[in-house]
Amino acid sequence: MKANTDTIKISVIVPIYNVEKYIRRCLDSIINQTFHELEIICVNDGSTDKSEEILIEYKKKDSRIKIINQENSGLSAARNSGLKIAQGEYVGFVDSDDWIDLDFFEKLYSAAKTCDADAACAEIKRTHASGKIITKLKFEKLQVLTSVYEKYSYNKIPKMCYVWNKIYKKSELDRQNLSFKEGVMFEDIYFTPKFLYFSKKIVIVPDVYYNYWANNKSISRDMRDKNQIDLISARKSLIKFSREHHIIFDEKFYIKNKTTYKIFGITILRIHEWETIRKYYLFGLVPFFEKRISL
């Protein structure tokens, strides 16, 4: 398959780091799309396994694939490297251990163009190694969304700030001067809510899925100290953004700390702490006392 730069409609950015077990499944789902006007930007982020060899193999089969090799700099830096050379009218992101329905880009592009939308959003399925599949995001019908409330509500922001189940109009990304914050985890929390807030309209598209692989060893599941700190920082940033722009999330999102006390495995007391208030729940469910906290 050959790509003419005059016909590139979607740039697909695939960050890659030591995923030799999964990358073939990912690339197969992209190169076999029913939508052909793609450039496939694979950013090899310093892989030490056979990922680069597999990329070269696939590039020989499909000239739409472009390979960027860089020193290991993290997921955000890899995505930003792809954004810098992207030539498509729209941009999409696929993580290298995930895959997409074969009509994913056809349906999203068609909806985005028909509705003149800044983004088109697909549904999400989560697949576990056991074979269990859970639908995480489902749309009942194709719908254009213009209000911040609708855009956040249908995409389950802030609970699900995923960047990869969408395509984004490149000109809108450029207008917002939006890129990924580097050197941190949970970079989607900095990116997706801001794009949705400042975009004029988006479209949600039913009956097409981004398939997320629930890898138990994935970085996002590794709650080591730095990752926990990054999560807290990302949430604080989003809270600050929400307050600056008068966005109201469910109060649970604003909880700073949770403490649970158990006896013989049974929750006896749970304490939720916000910036100015601490609430106490008997058996973790029944609120019975609250206390104001001095700032």
Q: Is the pLDDT of residue 223 over 60?
A: no
Angle (deg, nearest 10), helices 23-31 and 51-61: 20
Domain extent listing, the chain: 5-242, 255-292
- Token pair, residue 270, equals 């749970």
- Token pair, residue 74, equals 């993290």
pLDDT score for 221: 44
pLDDT score for 56: 97
DSSP symbol at 286: E
CA distance 256 to 230: 14
Q: Are 122 and 43 in contact (CB under 8 A)?
A: no
Please name which of 194, 187, 182, 120 lies closest in space to residue 157, comparing C-alpha atoms. Answer: 194
Confidence of residue 251 (pLDDT cuts 50, 70, 90): low
CA angle 290–291–295, rounded 5-degree value: 140
Mean pLDDT across the chain: 90
- Token pair, residue 124, equals 């999400």
- How confident is the model over 97-130, as pLDDT tens digits? 999 999 999 999 999 999 999 999 999 999 988 8
Q: Are 13 and 43 in contact (CB under 8 A)?
A: yes
Confidence of residue 284 (pLDDT cuts 50, 70, 90): confident
CA distances from 104 to 96, 99, 188, 207, 267 (A): 16, 10, 20, 9, 44
pLDDT score for 295: 45
pLDDT score for 1: 52
Q: What's the CATH number for 5-242? A: 3.90.550.10
Q: Is the pLDDT of residue 233 over 60?
A: yes
Q: Which amino acid is at 195?
A: F
- In this prediction, residues 279-283 reach a mean pLDDT of 86
Confidence of residue 137 (pLDDT cuts 50, 70, 90): very high
CA distance 272 to 240: 20
- How confident is the model over 14-53, as pLDDT tens digits? 999 999 999 999 999 999 999 999 999 999 999 999 999 9
Q: Is the pLDDT of residue 204 over 60?
A: yes
Please name which of 203, 204, 185 lies closest in space to residue 137, comparing C-alpha atoms. Answer: 204
Q: Is the pLDDT of residue 253 over 80?
A: no
Between 138 and 281, residue with greater pLDDT: 138
pLDDT score for 203: 98
CA distances from 162 to 274, 277, 279 (A): 25, 30, 30
Between 253 and 89, residue with greater pLDDT: 89
Q: Are 186 and 231 in contact (CB under 8 A)?
A: yes
pTM for the structure as a whole: 0.84
pLDDT score for 224: 59
